[in-house]
Each structure stands twice: as C-alpha cells, then as structure tokens.
Structure 1
C-alpha cells in the first residue's frame, strides 16, 4: 500500500513538473500579453535588472533634466509594474534612441516597436544616426534573443536616455540598472 501511494505521489509530482515546464516554453507572446505591453515592444523576455555597464562610447549627459540620484516616477509601461513606479536615476546619457522591430535569434514571433535600443548598442554603428527603415544588427541584451538579431529601425530620436532603479508597482524586488527610459517617460517625484 505504501509503495502504491509513493508511486502515485512520484507520478503526480513528475506530471506537475512536466506541465509547469510546458507552460513556460514556446508561449512567450502569451506570457507577454498578460505581463507586459501588447506587442508594442513585446517585453516578455526582458532582463529586468542589469549590470550597470554602459556601451563603449556612450557619453554622460552634460545637462540632463533628471540628474543622477534624483527620485522619479516612471510614466511608461515597458514592463509589468513599471508605470507609476517610484525610482531613482542611476545614469543619464546623450545619444540617439531607437524603437526597433526584430525577430529574436532564439526563435519565436517578431518583436515590434521595442523601446529602447541606443546607437551604441548597434553593431558597427555608423557615425550618423540611423533613420526609420534602416536595417541594423543589435548588440543589446535587454531581452532574450536580442543580441545579434537583425532589426529594422522604427523610430529614431536624439535625446537623453536614463538608466534607473525602480520598485515595481506590482510588487517584487527592486529592478536595478534598467536600460533605457527617456525624459518623456519620467516625472520628478518631488
């Protein structure tokens, strides 16, 4: 009797593990739609916290609207819990920021209008900013399958971008060194 119960328990446990694994793979778009913005940037595989390292050649902003250390409120929904979140500026940089569309190198559906990739995160970036419609290769690793992907520039804007730490409104740990948000996506917390 004990052997039967143990066998049923083990079988149930293995079944639960298999079902959990199946629900996590091959369905990033479905997961994205419940957790992040709807295919306008498709942030399902977003690396929430980063190292804080910045690409070579990226220049600190001389007169950012939000200086390093300033407390801010995020007015963007790049990922779940971001819109309305309280945060702090970690870095401010002057560059060209792009929204891009690409198919992940890991497979899956095309990601449309991903915000944001900066000029210094493009492979062999030209001296001049790219224009909408230009094709580039991404060197950013904000999301799974992004690094090495061929992308099309959707929008391009010369501006200040910010790296931020913020506490998600949906709960959970503080997101550290999130790359990137623009001035238009922030307001002062004071």
Structure 2
C-alpha cells in the first residue's frame, strides 16, 4: 500500500509539473494566477490541505457561507477555472496580491494572488500598495521568508474551498485563498 501511495504521489507531482510547464514562456513577465517562469522546485504549490493561520477572524456575514456550493471563476492553479467547489471557510481580513523573488532562487513572481494579513511578518497593521513586507505564507516553495511588494490590498472576505479539478485530478481540499469576486453561486 505504501508503494502505491508513493506511486500516486509521484504521478500527481509529474502531472502538476507538466501542467505548469506550459506556462514557461521566455518573454512572460506577468505571473498572475500562479503562471510562473521559474525552476520546477519553486513550483511546489501548497494551496491545498493548508491550515488557516492563527488569528483569522471568521466572517460575520459572508456572501458565501460555509457549505455553499460555488463555481470557481478564476484559475489560480491548473484545473481550477470553472470547477465545482464547496466553501469550507470564510474570513474577514486584508487580502493582498504580492510580487516577490523566491528565497530558493529563480525568477521574480509577479502579482501572486492571494496572501492574507495573517500570513505576513508583523501583521499588526494593514499594508497598502507599494509597501514592502516579509511573507510568512508557505503557498509555494521559496515563498516563506521572502521579501515582497504589495501590488494590491483589499479589505474583505476571503474564502477557503474544496473543489473538484476540471482536468480530472484528485479533489483539492482547503484551497486558500479565493476572493468573493472569484466565486459564483451554483
């Protein structure tokens, strides 16, 4: 059974890397939606099976309460766009798009969506566009500890979802983060 699990993990990793490989365009510099021109080691995404950071405040009146069936309008990762999902968490916070250079080396990642206030070093005060911060988020290899520039700051509700990838992959649990405008009710 252990060998079967390792085989499945290996095949899943190769599938993810193959899907990301199509984003390797030499002249591409906009890395929004996680399309990156980086080494394969920095493509190690941890958006699923994550833990909500300490100090997150549950949303008092989310548009999509926990348990709501939604469709994902954005594709942060392969198989996400138009996927059917269920909201498993909703939190009020400040949400950021950031640009950073991975601590593991490689090209700058531009407009990474999304990091929340509670995933920043010294998160006491909200930051604004142009501010420099240190990331505590560990969404992808080389992200944690990286210095980043805030590209966008949004006050609002951020969502955690479980979804069925449209590319036939395994169910993704606890994907962090989706903004309200990236979801639509079923």
1:42 aligns with 2:34: yes
What's the counterpart of residue 101 of structure 2?
103
Partner Cα distance (1:63, 1:32) in 2 = 39
1:148 aligns with 2:145: yes
Unaligned 5+ segments in structure 2 are 1-13, 25-29, 36-42
What's the counterpart of residue 137 of structure 1?
134
Unaligned 5+ segments in structure 1 are 1-23
**TM-score w.r.t. length of structure 1:** 0.78
Displacement of 1:48 in angstroms is 4.1
Partner Cα distance (2:83, 2:169) in 1 = 12
What's the counterpart of residue 19 of structure 1?
none
Partner Cα distance (1:138, 1:57) in 2 = 16
Runs of 4+ aligned structure 1 residues displaced above 4 Å come to none
- Greater Rg over alpha carbons, structure: 1
Partner Cα distance (1:159, 1:186) in 2 = 14
Once superposed, what is the RMSD of the aligned Cα atoms?
A: 1.9
Count of paired positions: 158
What's the counterpart of residue 62 of structure 1?
60
